Amino acid sequence: GLQIDQSDSDKPQLLFTLSDEIKCDEAYSLKVAEDQIQISASTPKGLYRGWTTLRLMIPVTAESGGCSKGFYLPVVSIDDSPEFEHRGLLLDCCRHFMEPDFVKKMIDNLSIHKMNVLHWHLTEDQGWRVEIDSYPRLTEVGAWRTETDGSTHGGYYSKETIQEIIEYAAARQVEVIPEIEVPGHSQAAIASYPWLGCTGEELPVANQWGVFKDIYCPGNDSTLRFLESVFDEVCELFPSTKIHIGGDEAPKVRWASCDKCQKRIKDEGLADENELQTWVIEHVGEYLESKGKTIIGWDEILEGGLPEGAAVQSWRGMAGAIEGVHLGTDVISSPTSHCYLDYPLSNTDLEEIYSFNPMPEEASHGPGRVIGGECNMWSERAPQH
Ligand code: ACM
Ligand code: ZN
């Protein structure tokens, strides 16, 4: 093996080489010989992945200075590339607020496991966590809830903090994709600005878990202008080309008895409330497309017809993944059966998670594509420690 010994530091032992021969941007070759370590890739991202593999080969104590006598590495030759381009973790910082340093720790964990996407869940019934200058009540009001015991829980990320976290992630080859929920999971926004909902009633930021009936009113033009302004600021803040727009768990009872929503359905020639959901998501999708972004939505976005250009994240099993691929779009697999890290261990154990295949046979022939998978860390039962 190669002995890493500080006294030998005049020899060039670790070489990073950019090479056109490696095609995939995340692929790398790592060669440990008796006198040298060489990492080659076609991009800095690939070099970083190779470096990460090297880090995984050294004793864990080495990085904290605990190997003063040096250590041995095995002689190896590794050619590696990812099978899937999207390897994500959803982090729900809404049900419980997570401090910026904790989010960074999660990014470190993603990076060392060569995962490359932080899907940052930033808006919910129980809390709005992203600062929006044009609608300050979203964080003045929407970021705070009164718990059933009378205590206050909350917090939000300033634009400066978000930028810092995006940069921290980028330095570790992790992309941050924000999720701004439309049209459901929006009670904290409605608590901040009651006119965003169908009834106009004042509501608190939710302090219980579940699915709530009060969702954005897409019959109201002002709601659409609100969403556009929010996405203006989100797009300015987040460099990712993809934006997650939610789309899950949006009960339609308020829309069914809302004059404005019913008028929208009629004026736009829509069949029902499900098509109204597709209509509002398409509206947001077109708006984002004009800013060079594409959208991802949970598999419910298939229900009123797949919104043009949207990628599907399949969570209620793999049916949404298969349907999305058959409809020709990009798909991310994160079924509750394997990918919900917030479920009890008795429900989803480590072996099950490791056995997860994001691409079932039925989704392997296109015309769409499974671009990868995500594990989802919802935080109803997971306050930050
Ligand atoms: C979800 O778990 N509601 C996507
Ligand atoms: Zn309405």
28 CA distance to ligand 1 centroid (A)?
A: 35
Q: Is the pLDDT of residue 7 over 60?
A: no
Q: Which ligand is nearest to the CA of 257?
A: 2
Q: Is the pLDDT of residue 11 over 70?
A: no
Q: Which ligand is nearest to the CA of 374?
A: 1
| CA–CA dist 166, 152 (Å, integer) | 28
Q: Which ligand is nearest to the CA of 299?
A: 1
Measuring from each residue's beta carbon to the nearest atom of ligand 1, which residues come in under 6 Å? 248-249, 298, 315
Residues 129-157, mean pLDDT to the nearest whole number: 98
147 CA distance to ligand 1 centroid (A)?
A: 23
Q: Is the pLDDT of residue 2 over 80?
A: no
Q: Return the pLDDT at 71.
A: 86
187 CA distance to ligand 1 centroid (A)?
A: 16
214: confidence class by pLDDT, cuts 50, 70, 90: very high
163: confidence class by pLDDT, cuts 50, 70, 90: very high
Quote the pTM value: 0.95
Minimum mean pLDDT range among 15-24, 33-42, 142-151, 259-268: 15-24
Q: Return the pLDDT at 65.
A: 82
Give the pLDDT confidence of 168-192 residue by residue, as tens digits. Answer: 999 999 999 999 999 999 999 999 9
9: confidence class by pLDDT, cuts 50, 70, 90: low
Token output for 110: 């993603």
Mutation test of ligand 1: which of 314, 315, 343 has the most ligand atoms closer than 8 Å to its C-beta?
A: 315
Q: Kindly report the protein residue whose alpha carbon is nearest to atom 2 of ligand 1.
A: 315
Percent pLDDT > 90 in the chain is: 86
DSSP per residue over 62-130, as a string? GGGT--TT-EEE--EEEEE--S-SEEEEEEETTTS---HHHHHHHHHHHHHTT--EEEEE-EETTEE-B
202 CA distance to ligand 2 centroid (A)?
A: 15
H helices present in the chain, as ranges = 44-57, 100-112, 137-140, 159-171, 187-192, 221-237, 253-256, 259-267, 273-289, 319-326, 336-339, 350-354
Atom of ligand 1 nearest to the CA of 298: 4
Q: Is the pLDDT of residue 140 over 90?
A: yes
215 CA distance to ligand 2 centroid (A)?
A: 8
| CA–CA dist 337, 341 (Å, integer) | 10
Q: Return the pLDDT at 30.
A: 97
